[in-house]
Amino acid sequence: MSKQQQRKKSRPVGKESQSDIFDVIWDNVKSLLIAVVLAMIIKTSIVEAYKIPSASMEDTLLIGDFLIANKFIYGARLPLIDWRMPAIRDPEPGDVIIFKYPQDRVTNYIKRCVATGGQTVEIKDKVLYVDGEIFENPLHSKFEKDRIEPRTHTPRDNFGPYKVPRNFYFMMGDNRDNSSDSRFWGPVHRDLILGEAIFIHWSWEPDTNSPKATVSDPLSVPRLFVYNVGHFFERVRWGRLLDIIH
């Protein structure tokens, strides 16, 4: 009998099976950790999903739209370290961009870039000019109010001329009369830009009759689930799914 066979024979019963179980568990843990790390890299550096919570980009984007943004194109930041990858290109006028709100540098905002550093923005009676030329309204943009507000009352309808500083971007909502944007809180620095909106992957029609889920009522969650299942087909905006954002 060989020494290896002797060692196998002398091994206590159950040791081998315990070792095999541990190996299987460890392999699964490693696979899970790798998957989590890859998911973090993809989410923070390549693409990320966002939900539209307000009407400021109507009718390009509607409340309840869920979109995918390309974070790689402008040079995404790597997770855990404050380092930005090289950009494919810089933001351009016309791009629909996700960025951190300059006032708190935390909240995600989405607006359309209308001017970049060095360009001059001016609004005259709701008409947007960039470097003296009319900036064409986006296809699905809109104005909700006919009244022209004077410059002394609000910068909404009359603004500028204002020269955008270097490394900054002037952002406006496509719903020009109902958008908090660079007209009110200034341009957005390059460091705050996260990515470009690409397409709508899901769209869920808001429903004022939908029951609310609350912590104080444990049954509110199943009620909400049953309600959404019952109204699923009428609440999904099927025609918007996979729409490219222009």
pLDDT digits (tens, 9 = 90+) for 86-121: 888 999 999 999 999 999 999 999 999 999 999 999
User: Is 43 known to be catalytic?
Assistant: no
Which H, E and C letters describe the chain, residue by residue?
CCHHHHHHHHCCCCHHHHHHHHHHHHHHHHHHHHHHHHHHHHHHHCEEEEECCCCCCCCCCCCCEEEEEECCCCCCECCCCCCECCCCCCCCCCCEEEEECCCCCCCEEEEEEEEECCCEEEEECCEEEECCEECCCCCCCECCCCCCCCCCCCCCCCEEEEECCCCEEEEECCECCCCCCHHHHCCEEHHHEEEEEEEEEEEECCCCCCCCCECCECCHHHHHHHHHHHCHHHHECHHHCCCECC
User: Is 145 known to be catalytic?
Assistant: no
Catalytic residue among 111, 141, 179, 182: 111
Binning pLDDT at 50, 70 and 90, where does residue 75 land? confident
**Lowest mean pLDDT: which of 11-15, 168-172, 213-217?**
11-15
Give the domains, in start order, of the chain with CATH numbers.
47-204 (2.10.109.10)
pLDDT tens digits, one per residue of 177-209: 999 999 999 999 999 999 999 999 999 999 988
Catalytic residue among 2, 9, 51, 56: 56
